[in-house]
Chains A and B, each alone.
Chain A
């Protein structure tokens, strides 16, 4: 930290004010949504301290749409994607990091293509494929295009490459096969990277919207993001208090997790970005 160049005197005061104004500005839209959600409709834009608190908006939103089902769908979706990613990414990264085989360079390039040709963009063709596979409107269909992750393979390959070869050899002397070495040496050493990757993956897929919107059309498969959109788009009465309550409700699990594990979240995003 650059203590020498920390602001001093008047400049410091000015910067503190600036930082706080920006901070308040940044939290304002969320604070406004929370205010609207926990007060009766008539107080939605009347900011008086005596406004009565209420949970009625949350209850109304919860009862107006099958949010419980949407939550179950999202949790299943996120868990399914993460489980598949962790297994597939581990195996692929291990192959690229520690095995010599023909076509390794070409295959790695083919993997990296996904960094630019993202599933988010190939919506039309993937929709057609899901139709052929008979998977339209299923949770599996939302997750499938994301299960093999170039980003994850790249991230983990770097990590595996930094594992000292001596550890690998020692484990082999003890009689471990290739998968045993992977499980006993590489996976434990990469734990922080797994945590970082998992947090990034979970928040990405909890928040993902366009592809799930396209591929689902029933309550049984819709994740909360799509459920929220269906709810707020069809509810023509536009009771903003209830819509805001629904919005906060769908965001709450992730937001609470973030507040509890702030440090890990921030570090994960740093780690995943910096590689």
Chain B
């Protein structure tokens, strides 16, 4: 094939994907940045350049700070717990535990369910008086508590749901890594007289590091990307206690129709995701030797 034919084929093959990406990824990203420096158009009044006014509004907005801190707490509360559980699950179902198939199934099933269905199921679980949680606690003599309705427990309730849904998903990646590990390692370590825990801590866990980093980045992205459970279970309440960043964007953009301010909030979210992606690319580079 001639060189110019190569060029032409390359470009033509890419054209459909690039056109869609330009329209629905590159253009909106740039437009978001552009709009973050302009006012929200209202009726006949078009958007005007307002400099960093929207960003000033952001700094002075207590709900933004709260949704950001909620989101950080949400990440801190869900990520280590779901990763630790995932690792534990993977080690268990990789070994010779009784009923291994059934256990794998039990751990993985929540992953297949839509978040919205999961949220509905747990909403009932948490319901005051009727919910299973209240029933069980009531049977042990605990006082009734509105789990999703009180500021102190609502965010924690969402965290539990998220951990429940994600641990099984991350388990899969650990399981794959464990299965690709050579049994010779264990035999060699056993000859050296290493204890089981020692072997895990000094051999298995370090070898799983690339998997852990991969899972970690995905967990961070998910912590900022998924708000379905907020929409279904709490709508950000009570008193913004469960407002996550993307949910706040949704409220500002589609309840108050303040698109300029939503643009500023989106920029913040994109910056967070960008940071996660940069880490991921570093990780992917490092993974190469692992294959």
Contact A225 B114 (CB under 8 A): yes
Consensus secondary structure, chain B interface: helix
Chain A residues within an 8 Å CB radius of B183: 1-4
In the assembled complex, the Cα of A128 lies from the Cα of B40 at a distance in Å of: 13
The answer to whether the Cβ of B62 comes within 8 Å of any Cβ in the partner chain is no
Contact A121 B7 (CB under 8 A): no
Contact B17 A118 (CB under 8 A): no
The answer to whether the Cβ of A273 comes within 8 Å of any Cβ in the partner chain is yes
Chain A residues within an 8 Å CB radius of B186: 2-5
For A204, give the chain B residue with the smallest CB separation.
B114
The answer to whether the Cβ of A140 comes within 8 Å of any Cβ in the partner chain is no
Query: Which residues of A, 207-243, contact B by the 8 Å Cβ criterion?
Result: 207, 209-210, 213-214, 225, 228-229, 232, 240, 243
In the assembled complex, the Cα of A207 lies from the Cα of B110 at a distance in Å of: 12
Which residue from A6, A23, A32, A122 sits with its C-beta under 8 Å from B121? A32
The answer to whether the Cβ of B157 comes within 8 Å of any Cβ in the partner chain is no
For B182, give the chain A residue with the smallest CB separation.
A2
Chain B residues within an 8 Å CB radius of A6: 95-96
Pick from B21-29, B52-60, B64-72 the stretch touching chain A.
B21-29
Contact A99 B24 (CB under 8 A): no
The answer to whether the Cβ of B14 comes within 8 Å of any Cβ in the partner chain is yes
Contact A99 B277 (CB under 8 A): no
Contact A124 B120 (CB under 8 A): no
The answer to whether the Cβ of A116 comes within 8 Å of any Cβ in the partner chain is yes
Question: What's the nearest-Cβ distance from chain B to residue A99, in Å?
Answer: 4
Consensus secondary structure, chain A interface: helix
For A23, give the chain B residue with the smallest CB separation.
B106
Chain A residues within an 8 Å CB radius of B93: 19
Contact B274 A116 (CB under 8 A): yes
- Contact-residue size bin, chain B (C-beta under 8 Å from the other chain): 35 or more
Instruction: Answer whether A250 and B117 are a contact pair too, CB < 8 Å, given A29-B164, A125-B31.
Output: yes
Pick from A48-56, A102-110, A188-196 the stretch touching chain B.
A102-110
Query: Which residues of A, 245-265, contact B by the 8 Å Cβ criterion?
Result: 247-248, 250-251, 254-255, 258-259, 262, 265
For A19, give the chain B residue with the smallest CB separation.
B92
Question: What's the nearest-Cβ distance from chain B to residue A163, in Å?
Answer: 16
Chain A residues within an 8 Å CB radius of B7: 99-102
Contact with A along B1-26 (1 / 0, CB 8 A): 10100110111011011111101111
Chain B residues within an 8 Å CB radius of A3: 96, 183, 186
Contact B26 A110 (CB under 8 A): yes
Contact B6 A113 (CB under 8 A): no
The answer to whether the Cβ of B205 comes within 8 Å of any Cβ in the partner chain is no
The answer to whether the Cβ of A139 comes within 8 Å of any Cβ in the partner chain is no
In the assembled complex, the Cα of A16 lies from the Cα of B91 at a distance in Å of: 12
Q: Most chain-A Cβ atoms within 10 A of its Cβ — which of B93, B108, B185?
A: B108
Question: What's the nearest-Cβ distance from chain A to residue B282, in Å?
Answer: 13
- 9 tightest CB-CB pairs across the interface, nearest first? A101-B10, A116-B277, A125-B28, A207-B114, A99-B10, A95-B13, A148-B20, A2-B186, A145-B24
Q: Please list the residues of chain B having a beta carbon within 8 angstroms of any beta carbon in chain A.
A: 1, 3, 6-7, 9-11, 13-14, 16-21, 23-29, 31-32, 35, 85, 88-89, 92-99, 102-118, 120-122, 124-125, 127, 130-132, 135, 164, 168-169, 172-173, 175-176, 179, 181, 183, 185-187, 189-190, 196, 199-200, 204, 214, 218, 225, 227-228, 231-232, 246, 249-250, 253-254, 259, 262-263, 266, 269-270, 273-274, 276-277, 280, 284
- Further contacts, 8 of them, CB under 8 A, given A23-B106, A111-B21: A15-B95, A99-B10, A123-B250, A124-B254, A214-B254, A228-B116, A254-B113, A265-B112
